[in-house]
Amino acid sequence: MKRSGYLMILCVLIGCVLAAAMAGCPKEEQVKAQANKPTIAIDLGEKYNTPDGMVLDADNTILLNIPNFNDDSHPAVVLRISEDDKIEEVCTLPVHPVSKKVGPLGIDVGSDGNLYIADNQGMVGHPEGISRLLRVNMKDGKARSIDTVAEGMRMANAVSCFGDSVYVTETSLDPEAVPMPSGVYRFRYSEFAGKPVKVAVGGGDRHLIAKFTTTADDWRATVGANGLGFDKDGNMYVCNFGEASLLKYTFDENGKTSAPTVVARGQGMESTDGLKVHPETGEIYIADFVANAVHKVDPKTGKVTTIWRNENNSGGKDGLLDKPSEVCIRGNRIYVSNIDLTLDGNEHDAPHTISVIELE
Ligand SMILES: [Ca+2]
Ligand SMILES: [Ca+2]
């Protein structure tokens, strides 16, 4: 063979090797972008067409609220997700006597072992101040009865139990006000012995321990206090949804709250919905409804890291996020509720899912 023939073969060989290398080793960014790709943890089906609030229970199962806003011909329920991602019903939630509907959003487990659930009546067409805090009385892992322990809120949303109290975000105190005020209520367990606590509508109630405003140039201006949680030192974190920010409150020895500090705002966040504080690292994981994303915020530096983000109207196929409203951390897995409301350019569509992101 002539020298030029060898050269040609050599060139073809090098070309093949290069092509194989490029196909097998995508660019670093591509690798990074796919690393946290969500998958479907649970396809909930039509019966559980709208998932929202989640919390990890002591036995490592996850409790999940199903408000079924998108198709309320199916009742609103609480589900339990086993360690191998199987679901079972804990209870059906009672409809409100006035609206004949119930809108369970946030859920937490109290130090008394009972479940505390925000019934957001604003989401079912009744923003006049009839939202409730429900208590599911648990015994041996089973729901025995359900009580209303507080009432008179407008848009009860997240629930977080810490110390001697149950905290509830009020997403809108006055929809007409500009900027729009919202905040956080604190109820002591000791107040739940008798009749339901009655909250005064409008923001003057003594249970309202935090109050802030929201400004935005679109529909987000109507959505204030949302996700809620505590770190192990007792600092309180609250999402200001419409401003895409995370606020922090501290408490003095008398339980009085400080003025809020803005831990993080924007940096890729377009809204801040449900949150969870990582029990080991203290980082705050946030569901971003508008951006179809999950972010992580370092509370010390305020740095936001986007863990995953995908386009709007993904359908939720293959686990893609479809208007996520809540996160829940179990080990190295981040569970994400896709509330999938027909809002902000999204259509409610099957599948109705809980996505999961495996952290490295
Ligand atoms: Ca959708
Ligand atoms: Ca969907």
Q: What's the 48 CA to ligand 2 centre distance in angstroms? A: 12
**Within a domain: 196:** yes
- The rounded Å distance from CA 340 to ligand 1 centre is 5
pLDDT of residue 360: 82
Ligand 2 centroid vs 288 CA: distance in angstroms? 16
Domain CATH number, residue 282: 2.120.10.30
- pLDDT for res 33: 56
In three-state secondary structure terms, 293 is strand
Cα 291 to middle of ligand 1, angstroms: 13
Q: Is residue 325 part of a domain?
A: no
- Ligand 2 geometric centre to CA of 132 (Å): 28
| Spatial distance between the Cα atoms of 12 and 17, rounded to a whole number of angstroms | 9
**Token pair of 46, please?**
């039509």
N residues, the chain: 360
pLDDT, averaged in runs of 10, over the chain (360 residues): 47 43 48 81 98 98 98 98 98 98 98 98 96 97 97 98 98 95 98 96 93 97 98 98 98 96 98 98 98 98 98 96 98 98 97 96
Among all bound ligands, the one having the nearest atom to the CA of 347 is: 1
Element (H, E) at 29: helix 28-35
What ligand is nearest to the CA atom of residue 44?
2
Confidence (pLDDT) at 202: 81
Whole-angstrom distance, CA of residue 299 vs CA of residue 230: 12
What's the pLDDT at 16?
39
The neighbourhood of ligand 2, an ion, using CB within 5 A, equals 316, 322, 340, 349
- 189 C-alpha vs ligand 1 centroid, how far in Å? 39
Q: Which ligand is nearest to the CA of 43?
A: 2
Give domain status of residue 360, yes or no: no
Of the candidates 300, 309, 164, 284, the one whose C-alpha atom is nearest the C-alpha of residue 231 is: 284
Digit-coded pLDDT (tens) for 97-155:
999 999 999 999 999 999 999 999 999 999 999 999 999 999 999 999 999 999 999 99
Distance 25 CA to ligand 2 centre (A): 32
Compute the distance from residue 323 Cα to the ligand 2 centre, in Å: 8
| Residues whose beta carbons lie less than 5 angstroms from ion ligand 1 | 322, 340, 346, 349
Q: What CA–CA distance (Å, rounded) separates 360 from 347?
A: 32
- Report the pLDDT value the prediction gives residue 278, as an integer from 0 to 100: 98
Instruction: Report which secondary-structure segment, H or E, holds 134.
Output: strand 131-139
> Is position 13 within any domain?
no
Domain assignment of residue 217, yes or no: yes
Q: What is the tally of structural domains in the chain?
A: 1
Residue 93 lies in a domain: yes
> Which ligand has an atom closest to residue 312 CA?
1
Q: Is 330 within a domain?
A: no
Domain extent, residue 146, equals 54-313
Given a contact cutoff of 8 angstroms between Cβ atoms, the answer to whether 24 and 297 are in contact is no
- Tell me the CA–centroid distance for residue 268 and ligand 2, in Å: 23
Q: Which of 28, 105, 96 is nearest to 69 (CA)?
A: 105
Interatomic CA distance for residues 188 and 150, integer angstroms: 11
Q: Specify the 3-state DSSP secondary structure of 140.
A: coil
Number of C-beta neighbours around residue 319 at 10 A: 23
Q: Let me know if residue 328 belongs to a domain.
A: no
Q: What angle do CA 333, 337, 338 make, to 5 degrees?
A: 130
